[in-house]
Structure 1
Amino acid sequence: MQPLLARIADRRAALRGNPPGRHSTAPAGGDFGLVDCHLDVELEAPASGGQRIDVGFIVIEVKKRLGAGRTLHEAERQLAGYVRSRSQETGQRYVGILTDGATWRAYQMRSGSLTLVDSHTIAAARPDGLALFYWLEGVLATSQRVPPTPGEVARRLGAESTSHKLDLAALAALHEEHAQLPTVELKRQLWAELLGRALGTQFVNDPGLFVGPRAAMSSRAL
């Protein structure tokens, strides 16, 4: 596993290697509880510079290189089209991943635009396969029979996990979309009143206390 990760994290080797569209190196599906029916791989023509893999409600766009500026912007634009199309076809919320092997970026649609939620980078010198596994599993959420130990719960569902960040981003997007509904306004008003009684003059009616990391913290203060 370590030699494989070192190879895909080495951008110089990747640029000297096989052209995009021929084949891709990806973590084994069995490691994530996947079977062949969960995978839908569409390899693009070499001229397009990328490869697309559909896994459940995840769209993975593989590029030869992800750099800042125009290259990344074009890759995000392409991924946004895939995610938007799949969401419209199925009526489901999709997560998009951009990767060149070394960098992994997870996105969600928010207000019609692709928004970066989390990222992970593999160090070529000392690649950490377990860290990449937990990052990807947080997106895929396909592993089964996971021991319910405090460490596993924290790694897979804790505030620093990919799954937590994606769910939080989805909740924030839903609140942003429906914040003006009378029922939502009433719930937020009631929540603000409870926090005001608990925190007194320290309370500030911030949206982050209703939907966000601080919402959990404020609930423990009640």
Structure 2
Amino acid sequence: MSIAERAVAAHRVAQQHLDYQATAADADADIARVVGQLAELLGVGPHRVRPDRTRARRSLPLEPLTLHATDPDDPLRRYTFTYLDPFYDDESFFLLEPCPLCAAPVPLAEIRTLADLGAFLAAGPEPLPGDGGTPPDSYPDAFDQHPAHTAACAYRESQRVGLMRRGHCAEALDLDGPQAGRVRRQPVAERVEIPLEQRFPWITGAGLMVLPTRA
């Protein structure tokens, strides 16, 4: 394909994205924009990308938007991505693939360009330590302790992280020993009284010291 043909094809794809976003309702405008971003990144029409409409928009912690992209050359081949918050337009997509340990669909690659997807598809995920140790650098931060891991997976979300994610910070402070789940309180330091004349040296006894004034 020549440069001119590629340029015309890119223009047509971009125009499809604009048309798709223009027809979206106001409430779905952010989702439509993200659909267009992913379609443009993959070089496919926006009708090839389907967002998950069951996402709870106002849930806390924030539930990422899930998008399914169909390969135009192989309709049976589908790629699943997540996008944290459609309100922002500068976040990464994450490719969901089976965890090498538990086979649950979790983020295995951060995708900002088509080359990022190509790098993952060419090499696949790196082997993981079976004891739940630090994953290789090729794994995104979203992979570690992701809630989709199975209960037996070494990378399943820990109790402490789960409490912190749900805002129960105090309960997460102490999860070991007989006081598990309770707030660890530090002993209160003994109060030391400082004599009044040391705190306010211009006060003597019950009266006030007369301070000299400038003439």
Larger gyration radius, structure 1 or structure 2: 2
TM-score, normalised to structure 1, is: 0.28
TM-score, normalised to structure 2, is: 0.29
